[in-house]
Amino acid sequence: MLFNLLSAGPIIFFIFAIGLVIAITIHEFAHAWMADHLGDPTPRVQGRVTLNPLAHLDPMGTIALLLVGFGWGKPVEFDPYNFKHRTRDSALVAFAGPASNLILAVILAVLIRGFGLGDNVLGLAFVLILQINVSLAIFNMVPVAPLDGEKILYAFLPKDIAYEYRQFMRQYGLFVLLFLIFPIIGGRSAISSLISPVIAIVMALLLGN
């Protein structure tokens, strides 16, 4: 990933790096804001209800994103026992992250299409940042712990199935995720094969091509 970006030129690399910082910051801020809004003071106490990137970036996770295309921000901690409806509100906190990235992607798409951007540096930057946000949102919706999709799916499952699902994910979720992101088929990972068509469809809907 890093080699590909550098070979594309310093401008592309710079835009990609800035886009990652923006996407991760928006994503983690949305988690923190939603938890705070629903009654849990933990994110505010920890200084996470802010758009300051330094509060949300994990150094190793950011480096991993640049090197291999997979990484992470600093997870937002929250206490579901401070919510009125633990399962539902936990799912809302989880969904807030991907939703914020999609909202930003829609805003960028409106600007790109409304002002006819696309053949200049600004248009290129907007398209690349849009794609980063769409990719982050779709990736995080995969229902495997520790991704957001796990908490969202848990809220919709019947109680007995949800309990078994949660127990399995607590024990094996990380191993399942690592298996999914490990390249095994033609140099592509299973998760890439799964979400790439979805990303392409969302991009086409937003950009109109």
Our answer to whether residue 164 is catalytic in this structure is no
The DSSP-derived string for 174-194 is: HHHHHHHHSEEETTEEHHHHH
Residue 9 per-residue DSSP state: -
Which tokens go with 72?
């992470």
Closest CA to 132 of 187, 206, 209, 77: 206
The DSSP-derived string for 52-97 is: -GGGTB-HHHHHHHHHHS---BPPPP--GGGSSSHHHHHHHHHHHH
Question: Using CA atoms, how far apart are residues 22 and 101, in angstroms rounded to an integer?
Answer: 9
**Which one of 28, 77, 150, 164 is the catalytic residue?**
28
CB 98 within 8 A of CB 106: no
Place of tokens 């805003």: 107
Rg of the chain taking only CA atoms, in angstroms: 18
Active-site amino acid positions: 28
